Structure 1
Amino acid sequence: MTSYSTHWDHDWTSFRELVNCKLDPKVSLKTENDVDVATKIFTTTVQECCWLCSPETTERPSQCKVYSEEVRAKIKEKRRLRRVWHTSRHTSDKKALNKASRELKVLIAEANDVSLQTHIENLTATKATNYSLWKACKNFNRPLHHKPPLRKQGGGWARTAQSKAETFAKHLSEVFKPNKRVSDVDESDIDSILSQDFQLDRHLKLVTPGEIVRQIKCLANNKAPGYDLIDKRILEELPRKGIVYLTMLFNAIMRVGHFPELWKVSLVTMIHKLIINYYIYYL
């Protein structure tokens, strides 16, 4: 899923026109910094054009409960008594506030019961209410899976969402590291061999716009996009200038020998393995 609206609602003609206006293929790509800057320009331009050509999404109606006039009057009375007690700090004012709080809880509970009863009475199994009865009942038999806490590396348990996220981040930062050298190799020898004339291996061929288009068509459909939110459909709608810009960028990456920092960013989603819990439970 992307943060853009549904793809079939996009104005792709305007998208291509905006990309043609914003992208300038005449860009210098000689250094690592040039490659990083060009990558950022391409990514932000495509994102901005997508957002500009996406229709505005309608906001969902508020799910706030609407209480009766009696409940709203009791809420105002409770707030008034609370201000009085905060000013005076007298025992009688505190008792009046507590009494109003208890009465308000009873009124809210009664209003919620009436609202629930009305909702249940309106549930049907017909298409007129979009099969509301089955949608309300489908969660009854669904098992509730408890997510256990995580054991920290230094001891203790990570129970909150923030603590779990920090534990996962620390673990992944230690796992995803460059491989250690197996032997001590002098890199100067490698550089001298690569700089020699009459290399046995041919140099890599330059990427062509046609090759970029073919590879985009070979991408899998309905795949979640990366951190930049650019998926296959957006790449397919790129105009000629966008394909040429991307071709120049790929050729510069191979020529300079530097992969853009922006394309190294990824979003990792940790998925709880429920199957392991089932095995442990039944064993």
Structure 2
Amino acid sequence: PSDRLHFEDLARELGNELSIFHAANYDSYVSSLSLQDQSLWTATKRLLNYHSIFSPLRQQDNSWARSDEEKAEVFCSHISSVFHPFSDSDPVRTSRVYEFLDSPLPLSLPPRSFTPSEVPKKVPTGSSPY
């Protein structure tokens, strides 16, 4: 038990010393950046160059999905197992929806909408309804 306590104290002290060292190292790195040698630009470019990492997927047999097709199949099976459609609670409404969706489209487009200010432009001048 005393060895373990001594080890934990040393590990904590080492962690503190490492964090102090890394902070000092970072401070000296940041203070050394300048505009003349383009080191500030390269550091900014390196920080902004973020690459997203896609996590690997496991198949049903615990092997890794490596190809895009295998990953798509694993994702498809996962989505189909998680999401299930709701039960049909109102069959009358569902039949009306299917009937509406199966109805034929109109043969012509609906008339174009217009504004009241467009009416005098289309009516010929000099014509009176009386």
Specify the TM-score bucket, using the shorter chain as the normaliser: 0.3 to 0.5
Instruction: Report the TM-score, using the length of structure 2 for normalisation.
Output: 0.43
Q: Max radius of gyration: which structure?
A: 2
Instruction: Report the TM-score, using the length of structure 1 for normalisation.
Output: 0.21
User: 1 or 2 for the larger relative contact order (CA 8 Å, sep ≥6)?
Assistant: 1
